[in-house]
A = this chain, B = another copy of it.
Amino acid sequence: MYLSQIASPNDVKALDRRELPVLCQELRQAILESSAAVGGHVGPNLGVVELSVALHRVFSSPHDKIIFDVSHQSYAHKALTGRAQAFIDPARYLEVSGFSNPLESEHDLFAMGHTSTSIGLALGMAKARDLAGDSHDVVAVIGDGSLSGGLAFEGLDNAAACGCGLIIIVNDNDQSIAENHGGLYRNLAELRATNGTASNNLFVAMGLDYRYLEAGNDVLTLVDALEELRGCDHPVVLHIHTLKGMGFAPAEQDPEAWHHVGPFDLVTGEKRACTASAGPDYAELTATYLLPQMERDRSVVAITAATPYIMGFTPERRALAGDQFIDVGIAEEHAVTLSAGLAAAGAKPVLGVYGTFLQRAYDELWHDLCLNASPATILVFGSSVFGTTDQTHLGYFDISMLGNMPDLRYLAPVGPEDYLVMLDWSISQKDRPVAIRVPVLNDPASCKLPIAASYDEPAYQTVRQGSDIAVLALGDFFGMGERLADEIERRAGFSVTLVNPRFVTELDKPYLTDLARSHRLVVTLEDGVLEGGWGEKVARYLGPLGVRVRCHGVHIGFPDRYDPQELLAENGMTVDEMAADALELLTLSD
């Protein structure tokens, strides 16, 4: 086996040319076996095995700089840069992150997991090289799906202007996470169909040098093409055609389903049932709610930025929705601005998006949607410390982002029942943009929560009336708040007020004023960061009123592949510790 002998890229260079295809086969098998065991971005990584080998054959990382956009194509790169055992030895499968990570290797230049950044990062490195008078190569590898993000276009535009030596490899597998959408993909198709000779050429039009290589999964051809580009003194695009899922029939045949998967059977391709998520399936709930609405009302439009599955829109449901479903590609900014346009013209847009990716549309939320009070609905998925735990995709910064947008109403349902009522209310109202924080943690309250039919005015909900201490627990942390209230009652022997605030953006000021009069301590709980979060608003409002306030949440930072319960414990958020803290504070306020 060659792969197990690859301790660094130098070992790729030491192989005989004829051995490279064998190394590729070994790599592909290792990626398949490790992914089958622990899951991963199977499709994109299988497609770039040959490219990765060729890159490390031709260039000398880390002297030369190779930047893999979004890191979904970095497994083979990792295996070739001192981390082969993490793909060979089952006991070590979880040793490496699924993303580029400088703490893991000097060959990983950036922590990155959002798309479309590689060209700008590479251009910065190329520019710094030129200013320092150095002469190494800088290479950005970007998939066709990532090209639709405006940041990638800004990078191409500026690269052409700067004129620095820079190699941009467009890895075109004709597929984003789902199928591609956008005019640029017609151009990529035209270029593929003409072996790169079509006169319509986006890259050339932007002033970039351009090469095309059809045999993107032929390692020796790739080596030759890259050799030609070494030391290139100007920006050049090498457009290569690869096959997503290459070498694994199920992934080749259904690239959307195999973009990212959990564990699966390597022989049959059957996916192993995950036992973790026994709770409500919010994707299913969303699609099965929306589809009949869309059928009844042509003005209801569902929008995604390349992640239709998060709102349950399978290929079959997308076909049913027809022109009322829009996939804008990886383009969250445009998704929000498009929603503002739709809403202004009387339509009812519903945008489903991961909170971590919605960060890309901060200004569009502020300037297009909120400033214009556009009645669009945004469903924010994955926003919780129990969401994705990779540092690149932390989903619990949404409250500090959305919570401070003027005229936005951000609602936090506790579970599926109030989620659907909120969604229904939001679509029917015409006053403002509404975002809904789709629960991630399945932790239902043991008590039956009354559900309001309207969210026209911010109004907190008393679930249990007590005295001295009030616990305000937001959204999917309501269950934790209930347990905290129970524990304090058990220890202290008196009733605690338990509140479901429901509104993230606006305070129920009369309610809070009353609370301050009748309580000595107010405790807030939220499934998000403390800094800029919801609890701080409560603390600020109560600050002059003489009641003590304790806000519970997670401090800002970039924990990576963390255990959610441990993260909460590190932030003092166990029921035990919070109860003890509350009782101690109560003593102080005597």
Q: Which residues of A contact B (CB under 8 A)?
A: 65, 102, 109-114, 117, 120-125, 127-132, 148-162, 181-187, 199-202, 204-208, 298-299, 301, 323-324, 326, 328-329, 331, 333-334, 337-347, 349, 357, 359-360, 362-364, 366-368, 370-372, 391-392, 397, 400-401, 403-407, 529-532, 535-537, 539-540, 542-546, 548-551, 556-558, 581, 585, 588-589
Contact = CB atoms under 8 A, between A and B. Distances in A.
Contacts of A589: 546
Contact of A542 (B161, B338, B367, B543): B543
Nearest to A150: B150
Nearest to A532: B404
A503 B341 CA distance: 39
B158 A328 contact: yes
A392 B404 contact: no
Given A359-B366, A404-B400, A344 B121 contact: yes
Contacts of A539: 536, 539-540, 543, 549
A339 B155 CA distance: 12
Nearest to A297: B131
Contact of A540 (B181, B200, B549): B549
A540 to B, nearest CB: 4
A589 B391 CA distance: 44
Nearest to A327: B161
Contacts of A372: 102, 110-112
Given A158-B181, A205-B200, A331-B158, A401 B362 contact: yes
Nearest to A124: B341
B392 A299 contact: no
Q: Which 8 A/B pairs are nearest by Cβ-Cβ distance?
A: A150-B150, A124-B341, A160-B183, A120-B337, A404-B532, A543-B549, A362-B362, A183-B207
Given A337-B121, A532-B404, A544-B585, A159 B183 contact: yes
Contacts of A122: 341
A531 B403 contact: yes
Nearest to A324: B131
A233 B169 CA distance: 36
Nearest to A153: B153
A338 B151 CA distance: 10
Nearest to A349: B124
A551 B347 CA distance: 40
Contacts of A200: 201, 204-205
Contact of A120 (B130, B338, B406, B581): B338
Contacts of A102: 372
B154 A149 contact: yes
Nearest to A346: B128
Contact of A131 (B65, B154, B301, B367): B301
Given A208-B183, A328-B158, A540 B544 contact: no
Contact of A158 (B124, B334, B347, B544): B334
B151 A364 contact: yes
Given A183-B160, A363-B362, A342 B150 contact: no
A363 B125 contact: no
B334 A128 contact: no
Given A148-B154, A331-B157, A397 B366 contact: yes
Contacts of A556: 404-406
B403 A532 contact: yes
A337 B154 CA distance: 10
Contact of A130 (B323, B401, B407): B323
Contact of A127 (B148, B186, B301, B549): B301
Nearest to A553: B540
B158 A338 contact: yes
Contacts of A128: 299, 301, 341-342, 345-347
Interface centre among A400, A539, A550 (most CB of B within 10 A): A539
A174 to B, nearest CB: 15
B338 A132 contact: no
29 contacts: A112-B367, A112-B372, A113-B367, A121-B340, A121-B344, A124-B337, A128-B347, A131-B298, A132-B345, A151-B334, A154-B328, A158-B338, A160-B183, A160-B184, A161-B182, A183-B208, A359-B362, A360-B362, A360-B363, A362-B363, A400-B532, A406-B556, A407-B557, A532-B532, A539-B539, A539-B543, A540-B540, A543-B548, A545-B548
Nearest to A181: B161
